[in-house]
A and B are shown apart, each in its own frame.
Chain A
Amino acid sequence: MRKLKEFVIEKLILICGLASIFFVALIFLFLLKEGLAVFKTVSPFNFLFGKSWYPISEPPQLGILPLILGSLLVTLGAAIISIPIGVGCAVYIAEIAPPRTKEALKAGIELLAAIPSVVLGFIGMVTLVPLVRSIFHLPTGLTALSGSIMLAFMAMPTIVSIAEDALYSVPKTYKEGALALGATHWQAIWRVMLPAASSGVLAAIMLGIGRVIGETMAVMMITGNAAVIPNSILAPVRTLTATIAAEMGEAVVGSEHYFALFAVGIVLFVISFAINVTADLFLHKRQ
């Protein structure tokens, strides 16, 4: 009887474990089935590198290069802002902050992670967008830069908490060894602690970037949504995610436009997957 109970519980847990993989597989298959259909009308090369995205003109032009570049530009900007600040913050929390400041900072970072992206989006819309507009004398403040700044706020909690964790788990003996050789606190951090935590810090950065690339709501609200190839970070852009969110509602089911949006989904999936796998590799290297 006891054995049977154990058996049943074990199998139930097994099913729970497999469920997530099963659902991911189903979602992926569905995405492939709907998305690959677009390649009947447009070649993969023209889809990925086509310069115009006019999905409802006749015939539709389905080139997503402007969207990919829009996503990359916003992500790159967010990375440039969030990585130094995030890693710096992690170093401060893990190594320098006195205990109370440390607790306060950690709570603050968690709070930042708890802000819904739509809220960040509208705060950006009413504060950051006019600011960017007036600083750079632009016709509109809805630009890639605005999106980058807001998304940097979203990437930071991930970067800080994982990087801080990585730094914290560096054996104390490394730091002691460095200090005992006459290193200053900063030399110990820069030359020993950070290299020792490098794989964890890289993983933190990758996961932060993954968060940024998949983010939809905030970028849709503040990047201007112009599906043109951006010529500067001060131009309006449209990201892959925002395209799907904005157009899925009006695309006719079964139309080329509809299939194209699914294919955009595949591209996003592949990018996120690649980023997560890379982050995972870094994390495993650490152990």
Chain B
Amino acid sequence: MSKIVTNNLNLWYGVFHALKNVDSAFEANRITAIIGPSGCGKSTLLRVFNRMNDLIEGVRTDGEVIIEDANILNSNTDLVVLRKKVGMVFQRPNPFPLSIYENIVFGEKIHGDRITRDKLDEIVERSLRDVLLWDELKDKLNEPALRLSLEQKQRLCIARLIAVKPDVLLMDEPCSTLDPQGTQRVEELMRELKNKYTIIIVTHNMQQAARVSDDTGFMLLGELIEFGKTEQIFTAPFDKRTEDYITGRYG
């Protein structure tokens, strides 16, 4: 069933019309890739889902974004609850300048109160195991997270996120700063995670979209041109513009 549905979604930055009448439906327990050239609005769309665009001055949205029967664009949406449910991994890994341990328990500490040390230890171990970092890091949990490699940092950010038990993972070009091996490992991780989460990934890398995703949406100049099964989009797109993009005629 659909986890996130957008109906006639529009977004403006001031006078710039960044998202135009976007209708889409993102399925649970699948990886959906959003592709398109720079500036097409794919990151903007992603940031609608956890209302991160609210941080930018002069943003206006209309239409509907339905997550679990509620239109999250309503002004009475509890952003803390929403963002706990819909988590985000950023383009540049952004662990906090705290220890590895503190990074992972951050979410637990801000959401719950009075959690025992044992409980926290358990969360740290489980989250690190989920991102396949436990064996590497179990002996240096108190070291600063900023000392890790880029790929480890990005995995740590994912661990930090799944520690708060979200339903949806939004990933905004999560591999763009990683080398090919790092990218490959993070992609493997995504495939493992999709059993438990709904994953939406924005990427400018078409091979990546083809490799990891089940569904793909192609965006151009703020419009969602085509949305469907990845296989179909990459082999037999309906729209001429999609075909031109995936065959590398622009982008």
Which residues from chain A sit less than 8 Å from chain B, CB to CB?
171, 173-174, 176-184, 187, 191-192, 195-196
- Say whether chain B's binding surface is mostly helix, strand, loop, or mixed: helix
Partner of B110 from the list A171, A173, A177, A181 (CB cut-off 8 Å) is: A181
Counting chain B residues whose Cβ lies within 8 A of the other chain, the interface size class is 20 to 34
Q: Report yes or no: B94 in contact with A173, Cβ–Cβ below 8 A.
A: yes
- Further contacts, 12 of them, CB under 8 A, given A182-B107, A191-B96: A171-B94, A176-B52, A180-B50, A180-B88, A181-B164, A182-B79, A182-B164, A183-B80, A183-B106, A191-B106, A191-B109, A195-B96
For the complex formed, measure the closest distance between the CB of A193 and the CB atoms of chain B, giving whole angstroms.
10
Given contacts A176-B55, A177-B157, A181-B160, contact A195 B80 (CB under 8 A): no
> Which chain B residues border A187 with CB–CB below 8 Å?
110
A-B contact count (CB 8 A): 65
Say yes or no: is B90 at the interface (Cβ < 8 Å to chain A): yes
Separation of A184 and B83 alpha carbons in the complex (Å): 10
> Which chain A residues border B95 with CB–CB below 8 Å?
177
Q: Report yes or no: A174 in contact with B161, Cβ–Cβ below 8 A.
A: no
Chain B residue nearest in CB terms to A98: B57
> Which chain A residues border B160 with CB–CB below 8 Å?
181
Separation of A141 and B145 alpha carbons in the complex (Å): 53
> Which chain B residues border A171 with CB–CB below 8 Å?
94
Say yes or no: is B92 at the interface (Cβ < 8 Å to chain A): yes
6 residue pairs from A and B, CB less than 8 Å apart: A176-B94, A180-B88, A180-B90, A181-B83, A182-B80, A192-B96
Contact with A along B106-124 (1 / 0, CB 8 A): 1101110000000000000
Contact with A along B152-172 (1 / 0, CB 8 A): 000001001100100000000
Chain B residue nearest in CB terms to A196: B97
For the complex formed, measure the closest distance between the CB of B234 and the CB atoms of chain A, giving whole angstroms.
30
Q: Report yes or no: A195 in contact with B97, Cβ–Cβ below 8 A.
A: yes
Q: Report yes or no: A174 in contact with B83, Cβ–Cβ below 8 A.
A: no
Separation of A195 and B96 alpha carbons in the complex (Å): 9
Which residues from chain B sit less than 8 Å from chain A, CB to CB?
50, 52, 55, 79-84, 87-88, 90, 92, 94-98, 106-107, 109-111, 157, 160-161, 164
> Which chain A residues border B157 with CB–CB below 8 Å?
177
Q: Report yes or no: A195 in contact with B98, Cβ–Cβ below 8 A.
A: yes
For the complex formed, measure the closest distance between the CB of B57 and the CB atoms of chain A, giving whole angstroms.
9
Q: Report yes or no: B97 in contact with A181, Cβ–Cβ below 8 A.
A: no
Separation of A32 and B151 alpha carbons in the complex (Å): 56
Q: Report yes or no: B161 in contact with A181, Cβ–Cβ below 8 A.
A: yes
For the complex formed, measure the closest distance between the CB of B49 and the CB atoms of chain A, giving whole angstroms.
11
Q: Report yes or no: B164 in contact with A174, Cβ–Cβ below 8 A.
A: no
Given contacts A173-B90, A191-B106, A191-B110, contact A178 B81 (CB under 8 A): no
Q: Report yes or no: A177 in contact with B94, Cβ–Cβ below 8 A.
A: yes
For the complex formed, measure the closest distance between the CB of A189 and the CB atoms of chain B, giving whole angstroms.
12
Chain B residue nearest in CB terms to A198: B97
Closest 6 CB pairs of A and B: A173-B94, A182-B84, A182-B83, A180-B88, A177-B94, A181-B107
> Which chain B residues border A179 with CB–CB below 8 Å?
52, 55, 83
For the complex formed, measure the closest distance between the CB of A206 and the CB atoms of chain B, giving whole angstroms.
20
Most buried by B among A173, A179, A182: A182
